[in-house]
Amino acid sequence: MGNLLVVGSMAFDSVKTPFGEATDVLGGSATYFATAASFFTNVDLIAVVGEDFPDEHLQFLESRGIDLSGLERRPGKTFRWRGEYTYQLNEAHTLDTQLNVLETFRPRIPDHFREPAMLFLGNIDPELQLDVLQQVKRPRVVACDTMNYWIEGKPDALWNVLKHIDILVINDGEARELGRNANLVQVAKHILAQGPKHLIIKRGEYGVLMFNEQHVFGAPAFPLEQVKDPTGAGDTFAGGFMGSLAATGDLSDEGLRRAIIYGSVMASFNVEEFSLDRLRSLRKQDIDERFRQFKLLTHFEDLS
């Protein structure tokens, strides 16, 4: 089986939450996704950084076995995002966005990345997502993310992307805006009719919902004693989810449900520290133990 390919952003984040603050720390959708997925499978990464991007960050990603041969380094500055969270941790308030080298990024897929087993398209311009799909041999699974900026700014291109993917992974606010409906069940019906086989809705501290034509599956968020920074939790979820699918190749309903729990496990670790600091010290046995705790959290017996 080939590798898992992710195309997305790498960034410097400056984040303030009620529990602390971090400035110019490692971030970006592809960074979080690839790091989480690397605990399960081999990951190839496509992104762009500026000349200000330190080698220590690249060394960390390479230490996780992530192939950075498709990473583009350009003159100029790396994408920067600054945001703040109140005690309502589900929603980030963006204070500043500087696209920098990301503004003119056009992903070019190296020949040795063109036959991935699975592909994840991070929340970049939907026209670029389409371009990536045209550069690769059709993977067994294509999943993508998007955000309100593209839902509002390029809806036609985004709906076109959805015709070509298997799994859409978005948060509840994005889902409601995309489906133009407050009811997530009706939203799911509308979106699934456009092409995706599965819709996964991330609901922050309220967990995850997965919809497909046959079933609805819900998983809670893991109850944590310490939450410091929710930045990247959704991308970390997607990385754990896709990493688990790539590792097992099991696309049955059971396999998808298990992958959702692994994604939830990875997101639960990520929010315990700023940036990727918790993932840096994470061990596979920590993941397996929390997976077992997740099973206990949701286990119950039938009434006899």
What is the per-residue pLDDT for 2? 58
Following DSSP, what letter does each residue of 132-201 receive, concatenated? HHHHS---SEEEE---HHHHHH-HHHHHHHHTT-SEEEEEHHHHHHHHT-S-HHHHHHHHHTTS-SEEEE
- Average pLDDT of the chain? 95
* pLDDT tens by residue, 104-122: 999 999 999 999 999 999 9
Percent over 90 (pLDDT), the chain: 91
**Could you give the angle at the alpha carbon of 59 between the alpha carbons of 248 and 270, nearest 5°?**
55
Q: pLDDT (tens digit, 9 = 90+) per residue, 216-273? A: 999 999 999 889 999 999 999 999 999 999 999 999 999 999 999 999 999 999 999 9
Which two three-digit tokens encode residue 185? 């069940």
CB 162 within 8 A of CB 150: no
Domain ranges of the chain: 4-298
The band of 286, judged by pLDDT with boundaries at 50, 70 and 90, is: very high
Alpha carbon 276 to its chain's center: 14
Instruction: Please give the pLDDT value at position 1.
Output: 45
- Taking only the tens place, the pLDDT of each residue in 37-67 is 999 999 999 999 999 999 999 999 999 999 9
**140 CB-near residues (< 8 Å, 6+ apart):** 117, 118, 249, 251
Mean pLDDT of 141-150: 94
β-pair type (198-202, 216-219): unpaired
Q: What is the DSSP letter of 70?
A: T
Share of the chain above pLDDT 70, in %: 99
H runs (alpha helix) in the chain: 29-37, 55-63, 126-135, 148-153, 155-162, 172-179, 184-192, 233-248, 253-270, 277-281, 284-298
Give the pLDDT confidence of 190-225 residue by residue, as tens digits: 999 999 999 999 998 899 999 999 999 999 999 998
Residue 77 or residue 303, greater confidence = 77
pTM summary value? 0.96
What pLDDT is stored for residue 300 in this prediction? 86
Q: Is the dihedral of CA 156, 161, 162, 164 positive or negative?
A: positive
| Top CATH class, 4-298 | alpha beta
| pLDDT value at 304 more than 90 | no
Residue type, 1: M
Which pLDDT does position 301 carry in this prediction? 87
When pLDDT is averaged across residues 161-181 and rounded to a whole number, the result is 96
Q: For residue 283, what are the contacts with CB-CB under 8 A and spacing of at least 6?
A: none
